[in-house]
């Protein structure tokens, strides 16, 4: 009887586990016309969401909802990418999926105009506003930021998925996944600009997402980080899913024709051992859908 049960478990999960152990890549770069389809494909290429999410997990998805802009202006994460991730997370057995961000413009506006609140809710996610009462001063143990006020929602979760969008930024040159963590904290965020590169790396080291799904369907090439005109964006039609946040950042830098050495924060991240900028050290799956 026991053997039988074990046998069925092996039959049920064995193949996928074995397959993962053998071929699961570290990163998938998928290009295609539909944001939803390339997101789905990216996760499939990484070996499925089950690789990251266990049954009954509480999952937090952190897109960039910072600005009161429509998806076409590429200031906020593509809502279809977010929605697809919510769906896949539930399919993988997540008990609860939350999507939230500490916005810069009025939260109600950003949640509505970005299309993210509606999209994520339609897939069954909770989309709450950040709540000051959930702010807690935490030891970040960073090299610059020793402690900071963090929204506990992003810490008290089983799994954390970072879903940034790739954008131009005047100070750090690019704002992608590491800078996205400024949306998970409170306090005087405007002071972080004084050492933005160090701050981004300290936050990235603190939050350590299980997965980064980078939305590069539309990328913002100038006037960042909020753009404002269609002519500010470039259609890249790509999603990068990666277990290595630094590598994802490196790939995105390529879309802007920036080498990783040119980005100060990537140098710091590399030194801190947060990931690789040399993509040859990773297994990368590239596909077009």
Partner 1 sequence: MIRVVSQAAFFTLFLYLLFQTHFTGKDYIGRVEVFFHFDPLLAIATAIASRVLFASFILAAVTIALTLVAGRYVCGWVCPLGSVHQFFSFIFKKGKLLKPRKEEKSAGRLAWKYYILIVVLVGSLFAVDIVGFADPLSFLYRSFATGIIPWFARVGAALIGLFYGLKLSSVGDAAAQFFGTLSLNQTFQQGFLLSLLFLGAVLLNISKERFWCRYLCPAGALLGLFSRWNVAKVRVDMDKCIKCNLCTIHCQTQANPYPNEQWRSSECVYCYTCASICPTKAVYFPVKKSPEKIASVNLSRRRLIFTSALALVAAPFFKITPAGKRAAAKLIRPPGALPEPKFLQKCVKCSECMKACPTNALQPALDEAGPEGIWTPVLKPRIGYCEYYCSLCTQVCPTGAIKELTIEEKVRVKIGSAWVNKDRCIPYTLGRPCIVCEEHCPTSPKAIKFVMVETKLPDGTTATQKAPVIDLDLCIGCGICENKCPVMDDPAIYCTSVGEDRSEKNRLLLETVQPATLVEEPKDPYR
CA separation for the pair 145, 139 (Å, rounded): 9
Using rule CB under 8 A, residue 137 touches partner 1: no
- Stretch of residues binding partner 1 (CB under 8 A), selected from 35-43, 80-88, 103-111, 244-252: 103-111
- Stretch of residues binding partner 1 (CB under 8 A), selected from 2-10, 44-52, 221-229, 255-263: 221-229
Using rule CB under 8 A, residue 231 touches partner 1: yes
Member of 40, 113, 173, 218 binding partner 1 (CB under 8 A): 113
**Cβ distance 173 to 258 under 8 Å?**
yes
- Strand positions, DSSP E, the chain: 27-31, 58-63, 96-99, 135-139, 147-151, 159-163, 165-169, 173-175, 211-220, 233-242, 284-288
Element (H, E) at 111: helix 107-113
Using rule CB under 8 A, residue 202 touches partner 1: no
Q: For residues 15 and 228, which CB has a smaller minimum distance to partner 1 in the complex?
A: 228
- Stretch of residues binding partner 1 (CB under 8 A), selected from 24-32, 124-132, 158-166, 236-244: 124-132
Q: Which residues of 22-60 are buried (b: 16+ CB within 10 A; e: fewer)?
A: eebbbbbbbbbeebbebbbbbbbbbbbbbbbbeeebbbb
260: CB partners within 8 A, 6+ apart? 249, 250, 253, 266, 267, 270, 277
Member of 105, 138, 234, 272 binding partner 1 (CB under 8 A): 105
Using rule CB under 8 A, residue 32 touches partner 1: no
Residue 198, CB-side half-sphere exposure with 13 Å CA sphere: 12
Own/partner contacts of 107-114, CB < 8 Å, gap of 24 or more, are 109/68, 110/65, 110/66, 110/67, 110/68, 110/76, 111/65, 113/68, 113/69, 113/70, 114/65, 114/67, 114/69, 114/70, 114/71, 114/76, 114/77, 114/79
Using rule CB under 8 A, residue 122 touches partner 1: no
Site residues for partner 1, 174-193, by CB under 8 A, read 188, 190-191, 193
Closest distance of CB 129 from partner 1, Å: 4
Member of 123, 129, 138, 289 binding partner 1 (CB under 8 A): 129
Using rule CB under 8 A, residue 131 touches partner 1: yes
Member of 227, 245, 260, 275 binding partner 1 (CB under 8 A): 227
Using rule CB under 8 A, residue 170 touches partner 1: yes
Closest distance of CB 224 from partner 1, Å: 8
Q: For residues 231 and 278, which CB has a smaller minimum distance to partner 1 in the complex?
A: 231
Using rule CB under 8 A, residue 7 touches partner 1: no
Give me the residues that bind partner 1 (CB under 8 A), please: 68, 104-109, 112-113, 128-129, 131-134, 169-171, 188, 190-191, 193-196, 222-223, 225-229, 231-232
């Amino acid at each position: 009887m026991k053997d039988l049960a074990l046998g069925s478990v092996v039959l049920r999960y064995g193949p996928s586990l074995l397959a993962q152990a053998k071929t699961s890549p570290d990163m998938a770069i998928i290009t295609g016309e539909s944001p939803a389809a390339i997101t789905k494909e990216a996760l499939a290429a990484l070996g499925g969401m089950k690789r990251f999410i266990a049954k009954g997990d509480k999952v937090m998805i952190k897109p960039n909802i910072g600005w009161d802009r429509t998806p076409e202006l590429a200031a906020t994460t593509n809502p279809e990418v977010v929605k697809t991730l919510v769906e896949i997370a539930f399919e993988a057995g997540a008990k609860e999926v939350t999507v939230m961000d500490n916005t810069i413009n009025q939260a109600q506006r950003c949640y509505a105009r970005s299309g993210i609140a509606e999209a994520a809710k339609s897939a069954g996610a909770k989309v709450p506003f950040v709540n000051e009462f959930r702010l807690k001063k935490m030891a970040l143990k960073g090299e610059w930021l020793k402690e900071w006020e963090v929204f506990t929602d992003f810490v008290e979760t089983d799994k954390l998925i970072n879903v940034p969008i790739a954008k131009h930024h005047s100070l750090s040159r690019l704002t992608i996944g590491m800078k996205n963590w400024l949306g998970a904290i409170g306090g005087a965020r405007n002071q972080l600009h004084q050492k933005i590169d160090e701050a981004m790396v300290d936050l990235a080291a603190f939050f350590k997402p299980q997965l980064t799904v980078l939305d590069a369907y539309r990328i913002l090439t100038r006037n960042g980080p909020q753009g404002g005109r269609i002519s500010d964006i470039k259609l890249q039609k790509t999603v990068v899913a990666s277990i290595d946040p630094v590598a994802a950042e490196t790939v995105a830098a390529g879309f802007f024709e920036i080498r990783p050495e040119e980005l100060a924060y990537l140098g710091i991240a590399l030194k801190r051992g947060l990931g690789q900028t040399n993509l040859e050290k990773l297994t990368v799956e590239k596909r077009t859908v």
